[in-house]
Amino acid sequence: MRLIRHIRGNYRKYILALIDVMFFCVINSVFFALLSVSGFSAIAGDVAVCVRDSAILLACMIASRVAFSVYRTVWRYTSSRAYFNLVVSDLIGALAAIALTLILGSRHAPWQMVVVSTLTAQASSVARLTYRQWYKKKNDPHIERARKNTAIVGAGQLGIYLANDLRTNANSRFNPMFFIDLDQEKIGKTVAGLNVYSGDEARFYVEKYSITDVVIAISDPNSERISYLYHFYRDLGCSVKIFDSLVHEHGNEGKVSGGIRDFSIEDLLFRKPLKINDQSVLDYYSGKTVMVTGGGGSIGSELCRQIARCCPRKLIVLDNYENNAYEIQQELLRTYGDDLNLEVQIASVQDVEHLECIFRTHQPEIVFHAAAHKHVPLMENSGYEAVKNNVLGTYYTANMAEKYGAQKFILISTDKAVNPTNVMGATKRVCEMIIQSRRDSDTSFAAVRFGNVLGSNGSVIPLFKKQIAAGGPVTITDKRIIRYFMTIQEASQLVIQAGAMAKRGELFALDMGKPVKIYDLAVNMIKLSGLEPEVDIPIVEIGLRPGEKLYEELLIRTEELDKTENDMIFIERDAALSREEVEDKISYLKKASEDWDDGNAPDARKILRAVVPTFCDPCELNENAEEAEEMQVAM
């Protein structure tokens, strides 16, 4: 019964082997018959020797095919490598047969066996290729008609892989027609069976071949190049997509894989996200107990994901909002299961007694402090809540980390702490003062400052998406506003690396790249939705909000910053206050918060202005920015 089940499960292999034997028998018989008639074979009349040598050749070829797993290949979905494998196996089988027949004293010429094996390999390959094409037609007889004429930008390794995959994949919606490339050695030639044209010829050939889709398949593209290509081919009326690739270097012989997707706003306006795979950084967090406050938020949850990759002894997620904490908990459990020692604590960083209980119980070695109120307009109206959560919460958490012997405490700060014009930025500047004043501590304190994070809770991109989905209008405060952006993944990875570098009270600043106009962001997001700005979706200016700057301070002035081993991370030269000076400021803010609870406190902005000397009036800064812009235009 077991034999019968085995035969049923592998009947296709046996049928294929039987067909191959038939090919061999027919080719071998015809070949030796022709040799006999023409008189080229000296032993053609010796039937016994011919049969014996032919049997040896057949047995060696079949054995070689089995050894090379030829009969384990699913030929409906195979690649050119499988056909190459078949030819090589037959050649090796023929060489083995020649050696055996020579040992037996055969008078056959070796070339005769090579010819028979080569013809048999060709016949087998043609049969398999024919079956493959028949199978594709059978399963989707209208596939050629349903496919979209497509041009591929990039005739390199990625483009070639993509073209081959699109032509052989029965489920592909795209029919590659030609390549577009900048390489003069390729232009005018044929690559992977497709003509290669230059970018200057693109407009003509897009129209000639009725191209509906353009797929960009370029290795390591920069944002400027990608943005230019997107807008160029979109203006030609094409649907523009990008090929996301992954090269498997280990265990897969450099094989390329990937998928075609629509463009995102990150592709058009921002640099390629940085990938940090520094093993020394990963090893630093391995085997340690790590706590992330605000671990359910945008930055906090991504920090948790990145730290989980480092195999910590324990990961503690602390958050005041149970829904966010639950979501990251379930995600990490799905991903790592029992391999990750995960602890989730629902607590406020303002609750000193609860904080002490958590620190005493879990003894975290590394603390990433991401818990904070971050929404600028809301904090303008709730200033003392920002003081209590951002400033006092950071103060209490830092005290606990120091008291219970944490190795490092890393504060997540913001570019809005640079010459702050709003309550949120001012409170984060005080948090930085707390960190910088503790250079004498056994705990290594440091702060990491960066700009806006793409897609984070409360950021502009999710807002624009909702407004576009609702049919508009898209609202911006001012067309002149520029901001620095970074992806959540990139920011979190750089924070983790800066954390590994931290020694004594450093204020790390991350290279945020080039600034982006919020108006351009709105325009491109509307276009990505297949709509026209100011036609389908209006863009409306609503005026600057309280505490809002036209231009954020440029974070990276390399002449004012110290370099680190990572060229994306700098250390700001900033004179630190003493512990006593910072303690006086904290006492002042505590007293103001207590008075506020009693309903007697003055305006939070006035209190913070007394604590933060660099607190500026946004109107004055914006006027200066306008004057600077006008002078630049005049020049």
pLDDT of 555 reads 46
Cα-Cα-Cα-Cα torsion 5, 11, 13, 14, nearest 10 degrees, comes to 100
pLDDT of 371 reads 94
416, 428, 527, 585: the active-site residue: 416
Q: Which residues of the chain have pLDDT under 70?
A: 1-14, 31-32, 35-49, 72-81, 83, 106-111, 131-146, 170, 221, 223, 245-258, 268-278, 455-458, 552-560, 597-602, 618-635
DSSP 74-133: -TTS--HHHHHHHHHHHHHHHHHHHHHHHHTT----HHHHHHHHHHHHHHHHHHHHHHHH
CA 131, chain centre distance (Å): 38
Q: 274 near 301, Cβ under 8 Å?
A: no
Architecture of domain 279-453+484-512+553-618: 3-Layer(aba) Sandwich (3.40)
pLDDT of 319 reads 95
Q: 407 near 444, Cβ under 8 Å?
A: yes
Residues of the chain with CATH 3.40.50.720: 145-263, 279-453+484-512+553-618
416 carries an active-site annotation: yes
Over the stretch 98-116, which tens digit does the pLDDT of each residue have?
A: 787 777 776 566 667 777 7
CATH annotation of 145-263: 3.40.50.720
A 10 A CB-CB count for 48 gives 8
pLDDT of 80 reads 63
pLDDT of 397 reads 97
**DSSP reduced 3-state for 214:** strand
